[in-house]
Amino acid sequence: MIKVCLADNFPVVHFGVKSYFKDHSDISIVANVGSFSMIQDILQTKEVDVLVLDLELEGLSSIFEVKALLKNFPKTKIIIFSGLSEQIYAPNAIKAGVSGYVHKKEKLETLGQSIIKVDQGKIIMNETVKKNLALIAKQSKSERLYRKLSNREVEVLRYLSGGKKNHEIAEILGLNEKTISTYKLRLLTKLNVTNLVDLVNKAKSLEIV
């Protein structure tokens, strides 16, 4: 039996996932958490084979925190289960070490299949993302743009697009304000815009927000 912990902000998601897998022959939901701070306690006290994690979970500010989880609990594999754009976030998540990315628009059957495959050691992402990673030269303009962005740049862009100021982003990510300003300048250059308004509009067109 594959032991799964679900980390999500919304009770309805917990209820739906737990109900769906209640009588599953291969998967057991052994823990449900509603904040990132609770995950480490669960992983220290329970045997968890697969952590199903929403990137927008309360208390989770950076993909680097997910990377640290994987380092501290190497026996637990992670699947990102999120409503954020898969094309934008899946490549960086996979590079950080997660084993799969399932968009919340997918059926729970797909999540179940992914949990089983990840437990077997496979990496899960949809065919579009696979093609984008394998065939960079054939990518569209928008796809090439997001491939230019590092994990941290995507995070900074997401917070800027959400209306956060430089000092607020610095506090969230544990960086100094000057570093955030540097990331902002890089984003302006990489996305070929000259001001914050255009930067936010570009982020929306790339489905980063």
* pLDDT tens, position by position, 44-95: 999 999 999 999 999 998 888 999 999 999 999 999 999 988 877 888 888 8
Mark 40-57 as b/e (b = at least 16 C-beta within 10 Å).
eebbeeeebbbbbbbbeb
**Lowest-confidence range among 10-14, 21-25, 87-91?**
87-91
Q: What is the mean pLDDT of residues 161-172?
A: 93
Average pLDDT over residues 109-138: 81
pLDDT of 136 reads 43
Q: Which of 47-56, 153-162, 186-195 has the highest mean pLDDT?
A: 47-56
pLDDT value at 137 more than 50:
no
CB count within 10 Å of CB 205 equals: 11
User: Is there a contact between 90 and 101 (Cβ–Cβ < 8 Å)?
Assistant: yes
Model confidence at 143: pLDDT above 70: no
Query: Sorting pLDDT into bands at 50, 70 and 90, what band is 127?
Result: confident
Is residue 98 a contact partner of residue 78, using CB atoms and an 8 Å limit? Answer: yes
Does 147 have pLDDT greater than 70?
A: no
Enumerate residues 6+ apart whose C-beta is below 8 A from 141: none
Model pTM? 0.75
- pLDDT band for position 135 (cuts 50, 70, 90): low
3-state class of 117 per DSSP?
Answer: helix
| Tokens 């899960």 found at | 124
pLDDT for 61 equals: 86
Q: Span 173-201, mean pLDDT?
A: 89
Q: What is the mean pLDDT of residues 185-207?
A: 85
Separation CA 128–CA 87 (nearest Å): 8
Helix (H) or strand (E) holding 183: helix 177-190
Average pLDDT, the chain: 88
